Each structure stands twice: as C-alpha cells, then as structure tokens.
Amino acid sequence: MGLVSGTGLAELGHEVRIVDIDPERVKRLNDGVLPIYEPALEDLIRRNERAGRLNFASEVGEHFADAEVFFICVGTPTGNGGSADVGAVFAAADAIAGVATKPALVAVKSTVPVGTCDEVDRRVADAKVALEVVSNPEFLKEGAAVADFFSPDRIVVGANSEAAGRLLRELYAPLQLSGERVLVTDRRSSELIKYASNAMLAMRVSFMNELSRLCHATGADIHAVRLGVGADTRIGRRFLYAGPGYGGSCFPKDVQALIHLGQSHGIPMRLAEATHLANDDQRHFVGELVLGALGDPKDKVVALWGLAFKPETDDVRHSPALTIAKMLLDRGVRVAAHDPEAGENFTRAISHEGLRVVDRDYDAATNADALVLLTEWRSYRAPNFSEIRRRMRGDLVVDARNVWRPAEVQRARLRYLGVGVNPDAIHGSNG
C-alpha cells in the first residue's frame, strides 16, 4: 500500500518520502531491491528516484517535517478475537505528532475499525502544530495495484472540514481528468466503506464457491450457473468465479475484523460470519476433492501449479495453496510445486521434507500422479496437455480455477476434474 501509493503520488508530480521503521528494508529499496513483486512498480520507482521526487528513509527528516500530508500506510493484522490490531497506526501517529513542524493532514490509508481516526485525533492533539486527521482508505488490488492507483474506481476521503477534503482533491487532481472519482464523506463512513467493500466482494466469492459444491453434488455446471446469474444487470459477472477460496492480506483479515466490529457494537454480522466459514469449507472441499480422486495416498506425488493467493503477486498469506498442500502432506502425499513468483515465500511458509518447489512449471508435473491448478497465472492458462500427459505418471488433472476446457484436457488422455464443473454439460466451456 505505502510503496505503491507513495510511488504513484510521486509520479503525479509530488515530492514524496517513504518512511519505514525497518532500516534493512530501506537499504534494500535504496539498493534497487523491491520487497514485493508488483507488475510495473519497479520501473516506476526508479523513474521517480531519478527525477528526485521519491526517496526512502527510516525517519521523516528535517526537509519532510514540514510536509503538507502525512499518510499512514502501516499494516493492521488480525488481533485477539479477529479484531484489527491498530497498534502500528497509533505508533505512526505518535511519530508524526513528534516531527511535524507546520500544520498538516494526517491521512490514514490503513484499513481500520470505525472510530480509529477519532483516536488518532486524540493522539496528535498535543502536537506542536495543528494536525487534522482524515480517512483515505486504499482500494488497490495486489497484482494490479499500479493500474488501480492511476485508474481508481473511486477515491474515498473522510474529513471533518471542507479544507481537508479540498486539499486531498487537489492532491489527487491528476486522477480526476476523465471524471469525478473523489467521494468526500465523514470519517466513520469512510472507515466502514473499506470493510464493507471487501466483505461484499468476499461474500460473492464464497457464495459462488458454495454453489460450486452444490453443482458438484447435483450434476449442474457452475459455468452455466455463473453466466445465467451474471447476465442479470443487477448482479453482474465480476467476482462470480468459483475456486479454492479467497486469500491474501485483505479479505480474510477484513471479514474477521468486520465480524468483530459488529460484535463490539452488539450487531451480529451474520453474512460476514457465513462468508468466513464458507471460505474455510471451500479450501477443505478442494483438498478432499483431490485426495478422493487420487485414491490411496501411499507413494503418491501431486504437482501444484500456483502458490500465491492470486496471479501477479508473490503473496502467499492465507493462500488456499497453503491449506491444500498441508492436507496432502499430512496424508503422506509428496508435493512438487511451482509458481512464477511465490516459490520462495511458500517454502518459508511450509517447511516439510515432502515438499519440493521447482523452477520450471512442467518439471513439477514430471512423474506426478495428479496436477492441480491453484492460481490462474497467464503462463498456466494454455498449457501443452500432451506434454503434461507424457511427463505424468498418473492421469488426474484438477482445475481448481475452472480455466481449462475439459475437452482439451480429455483429448490428451487425462482425467479432468473442476470445481463444480460438469464436463458433459451442454454449455461445456468457460464462456
């Protein structure tokens, strides 16, 4: 969030310093080593560094102490009972209050519970200069964060004064050229908008995943159901794809935080609770689907394609691949895995003698009894199934993202198994 937002603001012409409390991370950034993989980000950073608009440091420093806006972009991990841990937000606010030398905005980009900006307000009240706190949540998708920054659906600003809203409008003005994108509201509504947005998207995913299990049980085809449901303009087709469950740093954390927020105010968030449970169920459903089709797990090898929770990122946090790999390993199945970017992070997350992460995708399938697609990277979308069949010991292909055409898989003398897909349905394709 901070790296993309700060770099994006520099690209808009602003002078930006990105501050991190980890000196080693700052050193690596200054040495040209990015801590994350995000398409197009590295070139953008280098261009703005050369232009003198962007730099990295472990402290604000004298020149930036008179900044007009301080953005708080720290993590808010899941704490006790599912609540969001906002300790880092408060620590950042305290630091800003100690260094600011002229009146400024403190913009909270972190995803925080309703009322957090009020507490930040109280923490900066004793600063030497007047600091006004605003809510400015981010809506950047991992894997498409740079594109999202420059072409946002909306820019939400929660402010208590017209002056604060006006300043952020000016800051984001270059993103407004094609139309109005800034929504100015009160701070509490702004904070809730972020949670509501993520929970709503997670609900759509989980509902389609539940329908995929129903399709599996009844013989219906999830592709046909998706097209029929999505054709309703009140619903639309986005986020209606069945798969192994959602993951990442946002949906799991934010759904739980919304549940906890509701509980703290005596308002049960039943749909959010069901969404969380359905997501856990889906991961285990896909794992059992693989194990059931595999048969006796003794001496079996399963190849996994895709370890990141989604394409175009190296993030494995809450990735369905973690759950499914552990299920296989716990049953004595050996796992050979590949991911274009996330292999190193995956091996750090799972240390098991039965797990092997390889550098080339087809090498994972060599001598495997089954191939399971878990992340729909572009490089996996049109594989050579004949080559896969030649390399594999077995013939099972599990398409947990429903991106392959069953007929193409079957022509290579492979068994196709999708998530809620009926290969014999008249629809018979991805649409």
Q: Judge whether 401 lies within some domain.
A: yes
CATH code of the domain covering residue 64: 3.40.50.720
Bridge partners of residue 355, in order along the sequence:
335
* Pair (123, 42) in one structural domain: yes
- Annotation marks residue 250 as catalytic: yes
Decide: helix, strand or coil at residue 412.
coil
Q: Judge whether 424 lies within some domain.
A: no
* Pair (232, 85) in one structural domain: no
Query: pLDDT tens digit string along 407-421?
Result: 999 999 999 999 999
* Pair (132, 269) in one structural domain: no
How far apart are alpha carbons 368 and 396 in whole angstroms?
A: 9
Q: Judge whether 30 lies within some domain.
A: yes
Tell me which amino acid residue 290 is.
V
* Pair (166, 244) in one structural domain: no
* Pair (33, 158) in one structural domain: yes
> At which of 164, 185, 206 does a domain end?
185
> At which of 185, 215, 236 does a domain end?
185
Decide: helix, strand or coil at residue 84.
strand
* Pair (236, 137) in one structural domain: no
* Pair (275, 167) in one structural domain: no
Q: What are phi and psi of 356, to 5 degrees?
A: -135, 120
Number of domains present in the structure of the chain: 2
Task: Note down the domain range covering 380.
Answer: 223-418
Residue 267 has a CB neighbour count (10 Å cut-off) of 9
Q: Judge whether 205 lies within some domain.
A: no
What are 159's two structure tokens? 């402010």
How far apart are alpha carbons 138 and 4 in whole angstroms?
A: 10
* Pair (387, 241) in one structural domain: yes
The most distant pair of C-alpha atoms in the chain lies apart, rounded to whole Å, by 73
* Pair (173, 232) in one structural domain: no
Catalytic residue among 73, 117, 215, 250, which?
250
- Name the stretches of the chain with pLDDT < 70: 426-431
Contact 419, 399 (CB under 8 A): yes
Contact 312, 144 (CB under 8 A): yes
Contact 422, 214 (CB under 8 A): no
* Pair (170, 239) in one structural domain: no
Q: What is the reported pLDDT for 125?
A: 95
Tell me which amino acid residue 270 is.
R
Q: Judge whether 28 lies within some domain.
A: yes
Share of the chain above pLDDT 70, in %: 99
* Pair (136, 229) in one structural domain: no
Query: pLDDT tens digit string along 29-74?
Result: 999 899 999 999 999 999 999 999 999 999 998 889 999 999 999 9
* Pair (180, 307) in one structural domain: no
Q: Judge whether 194 lies within some domain.
A: no
Q: Judge whether 193 lies within some domain.
A: no
